[in-house]
Amino acid sequence: MANRTDPSAKSIHGTNPQNLVEKIVRSKVYQHTYWKEQCFGLTAETLVDKAMELDHLGGTYGGTRKPTPFICLVLKMLQIQPEKEIVVEFIKNEDHKYVRVLGAFYLRLTGTVMDVYQYLEPLYNDYRKIRRKQADGKFSLTRVDEFMDELLTTDYSCDIALPRVQKRWVLEQAGTLEPRKSALEDDFEEDEEKEEDEPADISEVDYYHKRSPTRDKDRDRRHDNYNHHRDRRDYDRGRGRDRDRDRDRDRDRDRERDHHHLKDSDYSRDRDRDRDRDRDRDRDRDRRDRDRGRDRRERDERKRHRGSMSPPRRRGDVERDEPKKKKEKKEKKNDGTDHPDPEIAEANRLRASLGLKPLKL
Amino acid sequence: MIEVVLNDRLGKKVRVKCNGDDTIGDLKKLVAAQTGTRAEKIRIQKWYNIYKDHITLSDYEIHDGMGLELYYN
């Protein structure tokens, strides 16, 4: 009786509005004491009072998946279906951030695509902190605009599957929505002007000319990498994209300095030695985590080495390290996905995509 | 490598290959990839013991061929 949707309520997305929350989560809410005690006979006005008492967001948590009051109120709103004006009032409310978030979440579930973008995007400017209860019961910190981003871009939040909204660019192409004007645009323009005016280092100026100045993301990343530039060690430690970019910069730098030919060779030798030393260190760390088999092989090698009378030569180390490094790279690639057994190869591929280590056979 | 069988007694029976040192959370991700449900919605139990996400299979003494119960949250 108390759990039935208001008979005069419209159907949303073609279904009973309460069905937007899936069966298991809904049953958990119905059985919860907060729903039974506090949410009985709520109307739109009294719901605001309850919403003002909220102090965290979240879906279900814990081993038995208890629902948070936030989810209970969302389900209550779906049950009573307040008018759109009331929901917009919730969103416009500046004082209570959780009321705002509750209204935004409800609108995301029930509103049309245009409504969603129209009312949720202004909330990108609200950067207040909100508390979020995670699935394991612990709290985490997030901000209103981060949560809005999650609502607008993902299709699952707070244990509720959000209805599909088209991507922004689709609507912009169709002409129904205008391109997004960020509130920070003015700040970016000021920054751009400042950068062009400042007398920069020589190295800075070179990159500036080599890369297109309109790539904001690159500029920010470049700024962050400047301090790393000075320290050659960090250079080599950079992984993935950073390493490629640093290597490109290296190559650029070398090309520029070609006229100092003699100095160049010294430069590269020092760098090689540093690089190998760094690689040794990194590899040692990796080695500890690897299979026992390989450790045993290493131990045998070392034993053999210890048996020999000759002292360890530095250049010899450098030469031995290069082939070892190459072998490591090959082994890393072969790790798992190139197994002859197709079942195991596929399992390893899946594990790699999930970020897990390959199967130990 | 061990192979674990998960059965929800409603028609879904899944065999998953995994390592002994994988956690239950990892196992849930593998099961989610095979069944199509979300990893957070899956609950793995043995009788009334709900298995926690951060503990490894070997610590729960889950061996090769063992059957686990699959429930949903």
Q: What is the pTM of this model?
A: 0.64
Please indicate whether, in this complex, the C-beta atoms of B73 and A347 are within 8 angstroms of each other.
no
Please indicate whether, in this complex, the C-beta atoms of A359 and B30 are within 8 angstroms of each other.
no
Interval B4-25 mean pLDDT: 93
Q: Which of residues 25-44 of A touch B (CB under 8 A)?
A: 25
The one-character DSSP state at A52 is: H
* Token pair belonging to B9: 């007694």
Please indicate whether, in this complex, the C-beta atoms of B17 and A344 are within 8 angstroms of each other.
yes
Give this complex's ipTM: 0.89
User: Looking at residue B6, which CATH number applies to its domain?
Assistant: 3.10.20.90
Identify the segments of chain A with pLDDT beneath 50.
203-208, 211, 213, 215-258, 260-287, 289-291
Q: What are the chain A neighbours of B56 within 8 Å (beta carbons)?
A: none
CB pairs under 8 A between A and B: 37
pLDDT of residue A3: 73
pLDDT of residue B58: 93
Say yes or no to pLDDT of B46 above 90.
yes
Q: At what angle do helices A69-80 and A23-31 cross, to 10 degrees?
A: 100
Rounded to a whole number, what is the distance in angstroms from the first to the last CA of chain B? 28
Range of the structural domain that residue B17 is part of: 2-72
Best to test chain B binding among A350, A353, A361 (most B CBs inside 10 Å): A350
A63 touches chain B (CB under 8 A): yes
Q: What are the chain A neighbours of B52 within 8 Å (beta carbons)?
A: 63
Number of domains in chain B: 1
Q: How confident is the model at residue B33 (pLDDT cuts 50, 70, 90)?
A: very high
Q: Choose the closest CB to B50 out of A25, A63, A361.
A: A63
Dist CA A92 CA A81 (whole Å): 18
What is the full DSSP assignment across A261-309?
A: HHHHHHHHHHHHHHHHHHHHHHHHHHHHHS-HHHHHHHHHHHHHHHHS-
Distance from CA of B1 to the nearest CA of A (A): 5
Please indicate whether, in this complex, the C-beta atoms of B1 and A156 are within 8 angstroms of each other.
no
Dist CA A309 CA A305 (whole Å): 8
Say yes or no to pLDDT of B36 above 70.
yes
- In chain B, the largest separation of any two C-alpha atoms, in whole Å, equals 29
